[in-house]
Amino acid sequence: MLPPERFAVHSAYSDPGAFAHRLRELPDGVAAVCAAARGTIAHYRAELADLPVERRHEVDLRWLARILALDAERHSQPLTHARPLEQRVAGCCRDHTLFVVGALRERGVPARSRVGFAGYFSPGYHHDHVVVEHHDGERWVRTDPELDGGHWPFDPRDVPTGAGAPFASAAEVWRGHRAGELDASAYGVFPGSPFGGPEFVRGYVVFEVAHRFGDELLLWDAWGATEDDADPAEADALADEVADLLVRSDDGDGGAESELLARYTEDDRLHPGASVVQHSPFGADDVVVDLTPPGRAPAG
């Protein structure tokens, strides 16, 4: 297995840059960090449904350093102070997770984001979702930073894993679909959304491996095997191979995890290059986005 410490190092996306001190000011403990994430970032659909057009760019800030920079422009108080809802940075589950992953890594705690589907928001439907995993010294613990406890039939700070779990990884869902064990039409952005079903789940397998290895891309980015023009048969075969390696890695197969990392590093269909095509959840035109991190000069 890859050593957990590998995941304690910031990715370009989780690096808080000049705002590292704001993360270090947070209390210890995953629950406190999750609360700060919810108090800093609001979900653009669930909490900010009337987001003004001039603020829609916030969901594309991408880098944790830029999310924290915008928050700092609006608020001088520490991140422990929940911002008024309408003044929080607009984002989604990916951004809540990136905040928590960044705060934990800043403390030297191994953490990573997991891409998959949650079955606890709507009866009979599984929404696309991103959650946190951190290593507590003995095992990887899964937590949903958007949930504050309360009425959930499981502990949001230690979400169960395995068959029938509330959250299933994209790899688990893809394998279930291929085995005929589940209806992939019940997996997507929301019931009735055009963004759901087998092809959507297949693309999320690529997102899952990217996030696992530190490319915590926006959920509306496209590259390589996630592009619309990818050959379906080739994309299916690739997803089969990657999903198998992901599930075996989660089951403790160190050889599978090493193979997965090598495959991700070497296969241009899996990892992003210097840029991605950024779609828009608001229906705006697609744009090509340079992935050069803030503060660095573009390559070449």
122-140 as b/e: b if 16+ CB within 10 A:
eeebbbbbbbbbbbeeeeb
Note the pLDDT of residue 73. 98
Confidence of residue 279 (pLDDT cuts 50, 70, 90): very high
Give yes or no for a contact between 232 and 250, defined as CB atoms under 8 angstroms apart: no
Average pLDDT over residues 189-207: 97
295 confidence band (pLDDT: 50, 70, 90): confident
Mean pLDDT computed over every residue of the chain: 96
Rounded to whole angstroms, the maximal C-alpha distance in the chain is 53
User: Region 96-115: what's the mean pLDDT?
Assistant: 99
Residues contacting residue 20 through CB under 8 Å, at least 6 positions apart: 106
Domain boundaries, the chain: 9-107
**pLDDT (tens digit, 9 = 90+) per residue, 31-83?**
999 999 999 999 999 999 999 999 999 999 999 999 999 999 999 999 999 99
| Average pLDDT rounded to a whole number, residues 276-280 | 98
Mean pLDDT of 238-244: 99
Portion of the chain with pLDDT greater than 90, in percent = 94
Q: Given pLDDT bands bounded at 50, 70 and 90, which one contains residue 151?
A: confident
pLDDT at position 84, please?
98
